[in-house]
Chain A
Amino acid sequence: MKNYKHLAVAALSFSLLFGFTACKPKNAGSAVSSDAAAKVYVAPGKYDEFYNFVSGGFSGQMSTYGLPSGRLLRVIPVFSVDPEKGWGYSEETKPMLNTSHGFVPWDDLHHVQVSKTNGEYDGRWAFGNANNTPRVARIDLTTFRTAEIIELPNSGGNHSSPFITENTEYVVAGTRFSVPPDDANGDVPINTYKQNFKGTISFISVAKENGAMDIAFQLQCPGVNFDLSRAGKGVSHGWFFFSMYNTEQANTLLEVNASQKDKDFIMAVNWKKAEEYIKAGKGRKQSVKYAHNVYSDITHSATSTIKTEVTVLDVKDFKDLCYFFPCPKSPHGCDVSPTGEYIVGSGKLAALIPVFSFDKLQKAIAAKDYIGEFDGVPILKYESVLYGEVKKPGLGPLHTEFDNKGFAYTSMFVSSEIVKWNIKDLKVVDRVPTYYSVGHLTVAGGDTKTPNGKYLVAYNKITKDRYLPTGPELSQSAQLYDISGEKMQLILDFPTIGEPHYAQIVPADLIKKNSVKFFKMEENKNPYFSNGEAATKVVRTGNRIDVYMTAIRSHLTPDNIEGIKMGDEVYFHVTNLEQDWDVPHGFAIKGAATAELLIMPGETQTLKWNPDKVGIFPMYCTDFCSALHQEMTGYIRVSPAGSNTPLLFSTGKNYAVSDTAKKK
């Protein structure tokens, strides 16, 4: 009976919670119906129906939530160090954050894409973009770990990324801050933007079998701010669409100076054509410098390689490669409908939503229906490409996703709402408020050929009074809507990490069955792997000490180490000997100027330590592992430089006093 009581309390507190919101302005109460709690309730021990991969924004990471519960399942470290997981601190993971600028411990991850086959999620990888130091990351969805990071030369502010083609042939990256190309003299006055600055789009190929990324080619485009992008699909497969602002080519006070023109552009790229030109050797080899970092689950370590060349096509030299078409008011989103027939532009400052037709685009190109050129790229006539406009949708459209019933959903930042409209007749059929100021939105499968019309999540920029106050900063709020009926229905608020931008909602069945539970010791090829306790040892090579250590419930081997001296550089290579799911061990040393290690079963990870004073240093397991976890500890003795303390290591053995200190 007790259980039922708890349920009743839970249900009541849910309804109370939503009841309270009724006092808020904007009719929040009426937006939450009484069955909302039941719709998002996932009972203890039960699984959510969807994974929600959410960008961590300025945290640099990617988070994973369950939907409809909104429960946080995991934060995957990507572009920022994560001391909790040793990411960027262990010797094995440090190379993942290497760039042409050296080790960069932070970035800003904006958009998430899950890999696709035939225009549908295949659940193999998730991609994320680094907006600050331009990079693209690939996350392996069997381990939920970043497997690869590639840096992008000739770029600044990788924003229109990492959008992918319908078979994950390419991940694109477009530069938001045009800059002089890397091989040009960049030491130029900033106000020579028009002459010297270029916008670069990178096409990164993804190997079918293992996901390996490579910059296949880059397109050198006029200096503008590329904002967002989407691949064509279905009928428009083979094309890519990039929105841009600042066609004024301003280099200061963009707030005003990049909003002068009534219309900027969307750029249509015929990437199949680009492939042909590259194959025919038309690309220019450019000397650049960029890092390519790969993590191996066999060596349990990353390698970073600096690459030195990319192939570039200057779009003004190829008249059938790129076309601009006008789009009102600094377009942000340019989203492609499930059939690939329509491209929805969203002008941040507009009060209408233009919908373009791929068919009309093709006809306009064939008829050379140009109104001029922009830096050598033809501009098509707005009316010739336009399918129609959604009139009076609200203010400040940003992004559009789609359902399986012929409707589109557009986020409206300025008027803080989601607007549902019919793709064919462009009539608005429903609108719901968001709390507050929605940025991105995502529909389950909303960017695929076959959307699942069940849920929509709004990622809001402003939180204000949605949660208990936590000082000046509040976590960003996401809001879950049930969109299965005619009317959109708000059913849940949940807090997120960092600042979420784009996200993906993927059926759990696609991913959960492939999840790795532990790494097989038989396959461990880390050069410092200890294959069982008998293989543990401590090796001195000059002032470098390698400790080959093992961890298993509940002791470290060796757990007594003597003979370390001041000036030594000590590497603890810890192998977790467990072969069962969910039994990581942690490892930390007093005073170490680094983070803990968190070692998965069957894995080897290395902590580097420079002893800073003479004495005894405790070490211990940081991840509660068994009833004797508190016993999973050890000591390291550090002696003065030049002392003759012998190198000793053991577990379960107390050496006789051989203590050189005693002789004094």
Chain B
Amino acid sequence: MKKIAILLFMGACIAACGGNAEKSSGTSESSSSESGKTENGNPSYDPERGEGKFTEVAVGEKLDPIMAAAGEKVYGVKCVSCHKLTGEKLVGPGWLGVTDRHTAAWIMNFATNTDAMLNKDPKAQAQLEICLVRMPNQNIADEDARALYEFMRRNDGIK
């Protein structure tokens, strides 16, 4: 009787584990829910766009200086600890030229959906291999991410 109970109990656990393998790697709730979205809406992963809510970002030809200034403020609180404005690596890579290396959507997805990107995106993972510190999720609001992108453009010489 004991044996049967244990077997049954094991069976229950095995069944419970079956559907879960996919999700278990993520460290945060957002990563699993976000990947669900992409699988539904966008089956083929686009490494230029990355993982997250941003797809097409409207970027003006000229710089929006007000937005860039707002981005600089966010940078001062949430980013400067790890990112220099030159090309030099601190904890994370320097920002000079970042807008040439990545699309606006990719950058904004990385800023707002950090854990999912680190778990899935090849370019983010390649960067992690160099830096070895997972970029913290700094809970950056959507409009702050856009402002940061504008600040990056200013840093890259866009006028």
Contacts and interface: CB of A to CB of B under 8 A. Distances in A.
Contacts of A304: none
Nearest to A8: B10
Interface in A556-574: 557
Contact of A578 (B20, B138, B140): B138
A94 interface: no
A43 B1 contact: no
A38 B8 CA distance: 9
B86 interface: no
Nearest to A520: B139
A553 B133 contact: yes
Contacts of A11: 6, 9-10
A3 B139 CA distance: 36
B136 A552 contact: yes
B17 interface: yes
Interface in B1-51: 1-2, 5-6, 8-10, 12-14, 16-17, 20, 24, 28
A626 interface: yes
Most buried by B among A38, A518, A521, A580: A580
B138 A41 contact: no
B133 A7 contact: no
Interface residues of B, number: 31
A34 B136 contact: no
A554 B91 CA distance: 8
A15 B24 CA distance: 28
Q: Could you tell me the dominant secondary structure of chain A's interface residues? A: loop
A38 B139 contact: no
Interface stretch (B59-67, B75-83, B98-106, B151-159): B75-83
B10 A579 contact: no
A578 B139 CA distance: 9
Interface stretch (A356-364, A437-445, A529-537): A529-537
B119 interface: no
B14 A4 contact: yes
A577 B81 CA distance: 9
A4 B11 CA distance: 9
B53 interface: no
A577 B16 contact: no
Nearest to B12: A38
B1 A34 contact: yes
A187 interface: no
B139 to A, nearest CB: 4
A643 B89 CA distance: 38
Contact of A557 (B2, B8, B28, B81): B81
Interface of B: 1-2, 5-6, 8-10, 12-14, 16-17, 20, 24, 28, 76-78, 80-82, 90-91, 132-134, 136-140
A-B CB proximity, top 4 nearest: A532-B77, A38-B9, A580-B137, A579-B139
